[in-house]
Structure 1
Amino acid sequence: MRLRPFLPVVLFAFFLTISSMAKAQIGVRAGFNAYNVISRNGNGNELYNGSRLNPGFHVGVTYDYLLSNNFYIQPAALFTTKGYRIKDIQEYSSVESYLTPYYVEVPVNFLYAPKLGKGRLLLGAGPYVAYGLGGRGEYYGKTMVDGVVTRNDQSADLQFLSDTDDLKTGKWAYGKTWDYGVQILEGYEFNERLSFQVNAQLGLANIHPDSKGVKSTSKIKNIGFGVSVGYIF
């Protein structure tokens, strides 16, 4: 369905609608991400040996509304990058690759925000759902034979897919389109406007695609953390 990429945004709009009568504030948020994956094959062994954190970013809008004294609910709509990096350096060869998928994501955090000094302490947790939009993959390979160095550099757009048979020519597979999970956050809000927070996120969805209609026994889950700055209007 063509509307499926916009479902997280539709969910965010729903929260805006049901909270229209509440004391609410719109804000913006942007910051730095670092993501990796938890990967296991059917035998429980690591699927992507040596995967590392892949740096990225997130940006979007938030909507805070008061539930009761010091308790808030905060849905948001974010554009965010995730993925992972692999780096393998040997004596006569090296490989480094980056897979950076793009998602539109709707987290819904439940916040406890007691007064602390001139501002508020922010403690929160909640679920998220995300829809993959695409992304970019890069591969840098180098080998040395008899003193001669040969390079093999490649790049391609990433494709989200449920089955590897659906992979289009010239694209690299990342994983299934939908991701969901949980996150926690901690931060501080200055003068009810400017805020700073750190968050950690754990994907619960297995995004490893199937093959030829056969359900995969391997598992891949997104995991990462972020640091961001927000401003409430």
Structure 2
Amino acid sequence: MKKHLLLLTAALSCGLFSYAQVSFGVKAGYSMAGMSAKNIITDNTPYEANTKTLPAFHAGVIADISLAKNFSLQPGLFYSAKGAKLHQISTGPADEIEKVVSTAHLNYLELPVNFLYKRALGPGKIFAGFGPYLAYGVGGKIKTEYEHYASRESEVKFENKEDYAAGITYVKPFDAGANFIAGYELKMGLLLSVNYSLGLTNTSPYESETQKNHYLGISVGYLLHKHK
């Protein structure tokens, strides 16, 4: 069944690229990365962590596939930095309440697939759209500062594993969600865009935590060539 599905996907992809007008390009930009986070501290009471955004970046390649007069499909593959600064409360060794500040830098390979509506305006086209994304973690670091204890830095391992090993923080390898995008494309290929990426999956494997990524990005890109 899986083999037949792969063959069907390949056939449809070949057909799409054969008959559709396709542009290839590069894209990069600045991101304001953040997280929504909740912890359970005592009596099964959820505590919503106070989070702040971190400066980050994204860079990669895109394909713009014309589907109809004003509609196109725009998949991409990006190296995307995510994370946040989280102000949390935890319990210390003597069950005292401990204030904790964690700065998480997480790196992903991200595959967004956006459905775009384009309309001619001035010397180019204005566009807007949305679509899903899937990301896979490739590396990261987390620095944790405690109110009463020494700070520590841990390596991020992207595994679905609930383990409190020294110097290691586990994060689920896959992240998925929705992407919303708008921008302007010039006839000569230059494009400017703003996008908001909303994580819909819990990336923490720890039972007492829920964490979801999000970021606001500003990008500059260039479509290199077109063919039919």
TM-score (structure 2 length as normaliser): 0.78
- What letter is aligned with 1:73? L
What is residue 59 of structure 2 aligned with on the other side?
Answer: 59
What is residue 119 of structure 1 aligned with on the other side?
Answer: 124
What is residue 114 of structure 2 aligned with on the other side?
Answer: 109
- What letter is aligned with 1:64? D
Please state if 1:85 is matched with 2:85: yes
Determine the C-alpha separation between the residues in 2 that align with 1:76 and 1:100: 22
User: Cα distance, 1:70 vs. partner?
Assistant: 1.4
- What letter is aligned with 2:47? E
**Alpha-carbon spacing, 1:140–1:44, altered in 2? closer, same or farther (3 Å):** closer
- What letter is aligned with 2:67? L
Determine the C-alpha separation between the residues in 2 that align with 1:227 and 1:142: 35
1:176/1:208 contact within 8 Å kept: yes
Aligned-residue sequence identity (percent) comes to 33
User: Cα distance, 1:179 vs. partner?
Assistant: 0.7
User: Cα distance, 1:57 vs. partner?
Assistant: 0.4
TM-score (structure 1 length as normaliser): 0.76
**Alpha-carbon spacing, 1:57–1:20, altered in 2? closer, same or farther (3 Å):** same
Question: 1:107-151: CA deviations, max 9, x gaps?
Answer: 0000111100011001010000001111122345688xxxxxxx9
Determine the C-alpha separation between the residues in 1 that align with 2:121 and 2:60: 26
Question: 1:51-92: CA deviations, max 9, x gaps?
Answer: 11121100000000100001000000000011111369xxxx
Determine the C-alpha separation between the residues in 2 that align with 1:168 and 1:218: 17
Please state if 1:180 is matched with 2:176: yes
User: Cα distance, 1:106 vs. partner?
Assistant: 0.3
SS at match of 2:66: strand
Question: 1:207-232: CA deviations, max 9, x gaps?
Answer: 1204xxxxx36421112211110100
1:114/1:122 contact within 8 Å kept: yes
What is residue 9 of structure 1 aligned with on the other side?
Answer: none
Structure number having the greater strand percentage:
2
Please state if 1:134 is matched with 2:103: no
Determine the C-alpha separation between the residues in 1 that align with 2:11 and 2:217: 26
What is residue 46 of structure 2 aligned with on the other side?
Answer: 45
Report how many residues are paired. 202
Name whichever of 59-68 and 154-163 sits farther off: 154-163
2:201 counterpart (200, 205, 222)? 205
- What letter is aligned with 1:207? T
SS at match of 1:19: helix
- What letter is aligned with 2:107? Y
**Alpha-carbon spacing, 1:156–1:41, altered in 2? closer, same or farther (3 Å):** closer
CA RMSD across the alignment? 2.8
| Displaced runs of 4 or more, over 3 A | 13-19, 41-47, 94-97, 139-143, 151-154
1:16/1:63 contact within 8 Å kept: no
Determine the C-alpha separation between the residues in 1 that align with 2:222 and 2:45: 43
1:138/1:156 contact within 8 Å kept: yes
Determine the C-alpha separation between the residues in 1 that align with 2:11 and 2:31: 27
